[in-house]
């Protein structure tokens, strides 16, 4: 008799209480997929991607550090900017996430060049507020009445309400920016 062992797809998973965040190994949440930020039975964030001048970042290393935290190290591809080219592997992006009453996320960019560089750091976010069973069946009931409010540089608030209940409410701390 042989023992069958099933291994799921490679992913980063962090959780605390009723919140679960599933992402690719590079920290991205690509859409469409079953990955995302779930609160109870609702997927709040269905896509989260970060770019440098429209180019995705390349994974160097990363993983979960505890059940409620993950850290990912990325580097840039070759970029063309208004001030000239930036060679690949010139920039480092450290993505640190943890769940503790919401999602806290730090993005730390390091310039390894000998000169100053300027580029656009872009974050694309999609919220579908889909029920877990909708995500699993890939059949979505749309549109939903949701609200996304951003307080620049500090906190992102996500809210979904329907006739019967409030699915998710409260801040999701996404980016901590300092100049």
Question: pLDDT by residue (tens digit) across 10-38?
Answer: 999 999 999 999 999 999 999 889 999 99
Instruction: Give the distance, in angstroms, between the CA of residue 148 and the centroid of all CA atoms in the same chain.
Output: 15
If we measure between CA atoms, which residue out of 126, 127, 21, 17 comes closest to residue 72?
21
What sign does the dihedral 128-131-135-141 (CA atoms) show?
Answer: negative
| Mean pLDDT rounded to a whole number for the chain | 82
Q: Indicate the pLDDT class of residue 176, thresholds 50, 70 and 90.
A: very low
pTM of structure: 0.78
Q: Cα–Cα distance between 178 and 72 in angstroms, integer?
A: 20
Q: What is the pLDDT of residue 173?
A: 40
Q: What is the pLDDT of residues 108-149, one digit of tens each?
A: 999 999 999 999 999 888 888 888 888 888 776 665 555 555
Q: Cα–Cα distance between 177 and 179 in angstroms, integer?
A: 7
């Amino acid at each position: 008799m042989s023992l069958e062992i099933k291994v799921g797809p490679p992913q980063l998973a962090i959780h605390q209480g009723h919140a679960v965040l599933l992402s690719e190994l590079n920290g991205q949440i690509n859409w469409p997929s079953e990955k995302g930020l779930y609160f109870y039975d609702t997927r709040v964030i269905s896509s989260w991607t970060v770019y440098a001048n429209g180019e995705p970042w390349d994974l160097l290393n990363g993983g979960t550090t505890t059940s409620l935290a993950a850290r990912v190290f990325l580097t840039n591809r070759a970029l063309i900017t208004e001030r000239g080219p930036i060679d690949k592997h010139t920039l480092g992006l450290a993505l640190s996430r943890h769940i503790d009453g919401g999602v806290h996320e730090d993005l730390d960019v390091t310039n390894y060049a000998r000169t100053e560089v300027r580029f656009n750091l872009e974050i694309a976010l999609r919220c579908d507020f889909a029920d877990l069973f909708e995500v699993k069946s890939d059949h979505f009931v749309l549109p939903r009445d949701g609200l996304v409010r951003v307080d620049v540089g500090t906190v992102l608030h996500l809210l979904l309400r329907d006739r019967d209940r409030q699915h998710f409410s409260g801040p999701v701390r996404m980016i901590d920016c300092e100049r």
